[in-house]
Amino acid sequence: MQAKKQCLIDRPTAVPLKHVRATSERIEKFISDIYFTDVNLYGRVDKRIEGGVKIFTAPGLQTDSITDVFAFPKWTPATVGTPFTPLWSQHWVKVEVDHVNVDDENLKLFLHWDVSGAESLVYVNSDIPKQGLSDKRKEVCVKEGDKLYIQVSCTGLFGAGKNGMINPPDENRTFSLSACHLVKRDKIKYSVYMDLCVLYDITKECKDHDTLKYDAMLLGNEIINLITKENHSLQSYHQAKQLANKLWRSDDGNCGSKDRIHAIGHCHIDSAWLWPWRETVRKVARSWSTTLSLMDNAHDFHFACSQVCQYDWLKNYYPKLYKKMRSFIKAGKFVPVGGSWVEMDTNIPSGESLIRQFLYGQKFYRKEFGVFSNILWLPDTFGYSAQLPQIMKQCGVDYFLSQKLSWNLTNTFPHNTFYWKGIDGSKVLAHFPPGDTYESHIDVKDILKSANNNKDKGRTHDHMLLFGYGDGGGGPTADMLERLDRLQHVQGLPNIVRSTPTEFFNVLEKELLCEWWGELYFELHRGTYTTHAKLKENNRRCESLLTKLEFVYSLTNESVAMVTENIEKLWKIVLFNQFHDIIPGSSIEQVFKDAMSDYDKFYELYKVTWDLLTGGAEPIRDQVVVNPFHWTRTEVIKVKDNDAESYQLVSVPPLSCQVPGVVEPVDKAGIFVLDNGNICMCNSIIKSVFDPKGRMISFLHRPSKRECIPAGQYGNQFVIFDDIPLFWDAWDVMEYHVETRKEYEPSGIKVVEETPLRCILQIELSLGDHGSGTVDVILDANLPYLKFSAEVKWLGIHKFLKVEFPLTVMAMEAEYDIQSGFVKRPTHANTSWDAARFEVSGHKWAHLGEPGFGVGVMTRSKYGYSAQSNRLTVSLLRSTTAPDGNADIGSHVIEYALYPHAGPLYSSKLVQHATNYNSPLRLVAAPKTPPTACPPLNIKTEGGEDEVVIQSIKRAESGEGVVVRLYEPYGNTVVLNMNVAEGNKHVHRVNAVEEVMYDLTGTNTITVKPFEIVSLLVK
């Protein structure tokens, strides 16, 4: 008998029509920590336990040593509300877990903890830290009978800025214990809670045309119906898990998307910033112990971690935690990356400094872990030098990761994955994660952005997503890893794989990608080239002193263990303070004071080390002059005879450490007062004229008869600009500041000194309410450039002081000294890319030139420049108030020079003169062991001594031989002739971390390509 067919009109509707907003918000309220927590799921996951904890404090115990804590005899009972002060102080709390019964396998016990957002480090029944606590992570898993020792640091994740994160710290801030109680967590409810959190996230972030949005929304709605109809029974939660798992697991593990996201745990920690470096040591312990605890609990993820100095801190301050970390490094879970001592700034450090970042960083990695990182990891640095690709390749580093250019204010950088070529043609594979973050939470928004924002679609479908809280937040959280478990294989979302940085870059190696040639200029944070002038002055000076010290040490016949050890310590002082928030000047005042203290320690240790070479307290022998460069130097020096000072013109041979030879000047320096009151100072090469006020009205290059200053304009023109950025005070100078330019006239001039070897004029400098000072104008016999030494008392607030030189030179590009070479940048604003370069970085010089004539400005401590049309400008001082409220206020000595020349840049000798200017000849005590007759390697080029520059001569790290490092400075290909000194038998080409590349023994010549850096090991 045939069944009667049911009429369609009688069939019950299977699913009611669902309103998208109402349904999605229903899911949101069911998991809300604010609304309906008395009846929703969030309120059922954790149940607070009253009692069960005893709280004690250790009054007066200021220590980082857990041994001292265990031995502390006078613990005092405490309660919620206990205050902790002052800022940056350390306090200890003991918490005893007692009389708590948790006998259900589905329940876990947690201590909830908060001290007004302060950071804390937890030890549980052990002298090894278990994890960190902060406002990003407020719970630690415990059990009956546990004793917790908790170190409270009176600082938040981002310091304690008064009325704003980047403001100077609030020294009166008080922290108090606001939460210390136990909760029981229902594991199955927590798991379903995380399911619904991710379903809601998908519903919220997916577009209206996306089927997955509705799948997630209806599934979430179905789960809520199931749970509420069953009155939150245990069975209903297990059934809800089964429903949710259908969405989380694709049948074949493939989501159907070509996009593949490589998820890697990370915790970016600034080595000093809104907190002093000593607090960073604790941040490292808090964050890395948290990550290791997650790994202990069988969470499957890899954690990438950079900055070798932080590993060194952990080794020295937390040795047992360090030992635990090493086991996870060996297992491949905790992955050292970067290879540099710190995540350094790359605009300000010298080429040799950047090399030493890798040399000492990789040396530590190899010794401690047996690994070598081939990835440079700089996610937060403020722009990237055009010479960095070569330095990376020379140090064995093939890959580069950053994301900072996503902050560009004007132009969008066109790539996320590309080959980056340096000025010498060296090429590295670069990746900027398209999620534009290194602190993802593994939510749907970040995952979709990572896929959709990829600017290299079609060329690659792979991209990296770094997840975890930074700056002490502890890196990945359990919630993040739960979301990763669920989102890894969802149909309709990109594929997500748990990866390592090396695995990721190995995939990219197979892709055909675009190239970007030259610097990666950051269109923001341009003020960091100038902020905190004293840091930059000390950095340049220390780099120069190390060049001399290592050179002299390489010439001595004996190796002194203490000297070798001290040189490494000296370098590490310099390298640490090149961190990307220290040397740029973008940290709080305490960081500045710590850095200045470091430089004081540098000079003390430098003297001790020099004394080891010279005999120290022994009677002073003949004084010598050190010339670590391979050209003859003829310069005026100051000598002392008893109490009298005088000048001598001395000639010092290349690569020497010896008593200088006194020579007669070919010409003399002179000063003449003209009938109209103008003052003229000149030698046979240059002639400069100043009016009675001290304004520079003429600067003549006498051999070419070329006037450098346009008629009616003034050289050495001091100007002040308003300097009020949009937000990032110490970091940013905005393009509109140029519209506020105000000139300041000097108020007088006088002759200070007039000798045949040196003449000095002194100009009175008036800067209105913003400061005052003097400028000494110095001209030496035989010297082709004019020197300026300004002593400025700077009082400006949110003002920017510069000195300008308008020039009779027309050029569409200016050249700027960078590490081991130079770059060209526009003097116009034809495009938005050109206009964005209104303030740029440079090292020892900037140059404006025509094919037959040019003028360079040389500086001894400045890194900020600009060239607009025919005006060459040096940035001198800023006066920002955040995060340091007193940045640059006070007295400064500022030295610069003006150098005119005939012919093009490549024949100008500007590089050599700027190198000399930054390393002035001075009499020093002679080494107690006489230097060898000559350096280990004599070099010459077919075009003359100025075609290459010796950057460093040092003893090899192996202890065998000497490393000579040089570079080609002008962009030419040159042939280098080598003569090995007697007693040396072998020459090898090595890379910058001193690995042998090939043997050059018996070879007399090598070809050096444009801007190439060459390292030679002679032994």
CB atoms within 10 A of CB 698: 17
Give the DSSP H/E element, type plus range, for residue 717: strand 717-722
Cα 31–Cα 35–Cα 37 angle in degrees, nearest 5: 65
Tokens 């006078």, located at residue:
74
User: What is the C-alpha separation between 191 and 485, in angstroms, rounded?
Assistant: 11
834 catalytic per annotation: no
Q: What is the distance, to the nearest Å, from the Cα of residue 166 to the centroid of all Cα atoms in its chain?
A: 17
User: What is the C-alpha separation between 767 and 722, in angstroms, rounded?
Assistant: 13
At 122, the amino acid letter reads: V
Q: Which of 372, 405, 403 shows the shortest CA–CA distance to 502?
A: 372
Per-residue b or e along 439-456, where b marks 16 or more CB atoms closer than 10 Å to that residue's CB = bbbbbbebbbbbbeebeb
Q: Is 370 exposed, middle or buried (0-12, 13-18, 19+ CB in 10 A)?
A: exposed
Residue pair 329/371 in contact (Cβ under 8 Å)? The answer is yes
The SS3 of residue 510 is: coil
Residue pair 743/717 in contact (Cβ under 8 Å)? The answer is yes
* Strand-pair partners of 670: 682
Residue of 64, 135, 380, 776 marked catalytic: 380
Q: Which of 416, 350, 337 shows the shortest CA–CA distance to 378?
A: 337
Tokens 């870059």, located at residue:
505
CB atoms within 10 A of CB 214: 16
User: What is the C-alpha separation between 732 and 524, in angstroms, rounded?
Assistant: 6
User: What is the C-alpha separation between 429 and 375, in angstroms, rounded?
Assistant: 9
DSSP 209-264: T-HHHHHHHHHHHHHHHHHHHTTT-HHHHHHHHHHHHHHHB-TTS--S-S-EEEEE
Sheet of 717-722: strand order equals 742-744, 717-722, 799-806, 871-877, 864-868, 840-841
Handedness of CA 985, 989, 990, 992 (dihedral sign): positive
How many CA atoms lie less than 13 Å away from 515 in the CB half-sphere? 10
Phi first, then psi, for residue 589 (nearest 5°) are -60, -35
User: What is the C-alpha separation between 30 and 28, in angstroms, rounded?
Assistant: 5
User: How many residues does the structure list for the chain?
Assistant: 1019
C-alpha pair distances (Å), 923 with each of 613, 625, 637, 650: 15, 5, 8, 11
Q: Who's near 154: CB < 8 A, 6+ residues apart?
A: 84, 85, 86, 87, 88, 89, 90, 91, 118, 160, 173, 175
Q: Who's near 719: CB < 8 A, 6+ residues apart?
A: 741, 742, 743, 744, 801, 802, 803, 804, 873
Angle of helix 444-452 relative to helix 187-205, nearest 10 degrees? 40
Q: Which of 886, 188, 906, 978 shows the shortest CA–CA distance to 596?
A: 886
Catalytic residues: 380
